Structure formats: C-alpha cells, structure tokens
C-alpha cells in the first residue's frame, strides 16, 4: 500500500524520546518518515542527536496538494524560551485546515495553545497550569489524561510517548488492527507479557 509521508518536525533541543515509539512503528509498516526543520541546516536534539533535516518548513504547503499523512511536533526547550518555533504552530493550523492530522506532545502543546488551536478542542499536556500560562482560552477543554485525540488533533504530555503513539496509530487506522492496538499499548506501557502473544499472533 502506498502511504503519504509522515512529517516529523525537528529543531534544536527537540525531545528525542517523545516521538520514537510513533515513528519507529510507522516506519515499520511502510510510512516514510521525513524530518522537517526551519531550514535544512542540521539540528541537535536535547539528547545530543544531530539530525540533517529532509526539507525546510517552507516547503510544506498542504493547501497546494497532498500534505502527507501526519505532522508530528515534539517538545523542545525552545517552545518556552522564544518565538522561534511559532512557524511550526502556524503550519499545524494549515495542516488541520486541510484535514491532515497533527500530533503535538509536551512543549509543542503550548505552541499550539498560543496559536489558538486548543481553544475549541479537547486536549492535554504536561499540566493544566502549564498551558494556562500561555494565556490561551481553552482551559475548559483540558483533559487530565495521558493523551487525547479530538478529530485530527492529538496531544500528550512529556511522560506519555507510548500513549501518544497509541493515539497516532488509532487515528491513522492502518498500523494495528482491532485488539492488536490495545495489546501494543499494554506491552510497551504496562510490560504485560500476555500482550506479546496477542501482538504477534
């Protein structure tokens, strides 16, 4: 099956552990993972991983044609210390308007809050007061849970990379079928040995 690519945003200080479960399993089932940064200059994750982006953010124009299957925005120190990453939040708006799912975890949720994308959607993050500090208007839609999907938007806090991946898989719908998605989550989140048999049956 031919699948549109998944775009993984990368920028200096991005939290490399937050998206690994999602991108690894998406790649395993045939999605092309393409990294996108503000420019094509290398960036360095918070864990010291140096990444050469595949394309610059300006090349992503969902309104001009196929936008891909998904845009993933990891957390990063820069979400909270500057406006440098605001263009990624604006790109998320364009993707959502085009009907393409967006996943945001950790600090990226604050970026979306500042962009107004959480005002009218159920969402979560690291803590309600973290998002409240952005001055956004969506506090009543905040959900105290590990990860939330509202239509095409997926959000999660920094301690929930497995739940974040589960919601992404569930939204795309072609990664695991039926009970295997639940088994995948139980295996990697709960270390449930019985889930291994279900996942590999």
Q: Which of 106, 154, 165, 183 is catalytic?
A: 106
According to the model, what pLDDT value does residue 178 have?
83
pTM for this predicted structure: 0.95
At 91-143, the pLDDT tens digits run: 999 999 999 999 999 999 999 999 999 999 999 999 999 999 999 999 999 99
Q: Rounded distance, CA 172 to CA 93, Å?
A: 19
Q: What's the confidence (pLDDT) of residue 65?
A: 52
- The domain spans of the chain are 6-175
pLDDT tier at 181, thresholds 50, 70, 90: very high
Rounded distance between C-alpha atoms, residue 27 and residue 82, angstroms: 32
Looking at the DSSP assignment, which residues form a beta bridge with residue 9? 36
**Spatial distance between the Cα atoms of 162 and 186, rounded to a whole number of angstroms:** 10
Catalytic: 27?
Answer: no
Model confidence over 45-90: pLDDT tens digits? 999 999 999 999 999 877 655 568 899 999 999 999 999 999 999 9
Q: What tokens appear for 70 in the block?
A: 């998904």
Interval 17-49: pLDDT, tens: 999 999 999 999 999 999 999 999 999 999 999
Q: Specify the pLDDT at position 189.
A: 95
Average pLDDT of the residues in 164-176 = 95
Q: Report pLDDT for 165.
A: 98
Query: In whole angstroms, what is the distance from residue 12 CA to residue 31 CA?
Result: 24
Helix, coil or strand: residue 181: helix
Average pLDDT, the chain: 94
pLDDT for res 84: 96
Assign a CATH topology to domain 6-175: Rossmann fold (3.40.50)
Is 200 a residue whose pLDDT tops 90? no
> Given its phi and psi angles, is residue 196 left (phi above 0), alpha (psi -120 to 50 degrees) or beta?
alpha
The strand ranges marked E within 74-192 are: 102-105, 147-150, 153-156
């Amino acid at each position: 099956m031919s699948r549109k690519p998944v775009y993984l945003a990368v920028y200096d200080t991005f939290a490399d552990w937050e998206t690994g479960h999602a991108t690894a399993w998406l790649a395993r089932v045939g999605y092309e993972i393409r990294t996108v940064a503000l420019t094509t200059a290398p960036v360095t994750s918070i864990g010291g991983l140096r990444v050469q982006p595949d394309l610059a953010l300006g090349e992503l124009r969902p309104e001009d044609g196929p936008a891909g299957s998904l845009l993933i925005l990891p957390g990063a120190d820069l979400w909270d210390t500057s406006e440098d990453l605001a263009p990624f939040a604006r790109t998320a708006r364009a993707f959502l308007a085009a009907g393409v799912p967006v996943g945001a975890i950790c600090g990226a949720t604050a970026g979306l809050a500042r962009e107004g994308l959480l005002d009218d959607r159920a969402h979560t993050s690291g803590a309600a007061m973290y998002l409240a500090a952005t001055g956004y208007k969506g506090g009543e839609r905040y959900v105290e849970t590990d990860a939330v999907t509202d239509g095409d938007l997926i959000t999660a806090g920094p301690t929930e990379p497995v739940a974040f991946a589960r919601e992404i898989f569930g939204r795309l719908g072609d990664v695991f079928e039926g009970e295997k998605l639940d088994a995948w989550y139980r295996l990697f989140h709960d270390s449930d040995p019985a889930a291994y048999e279900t996942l590999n049956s």
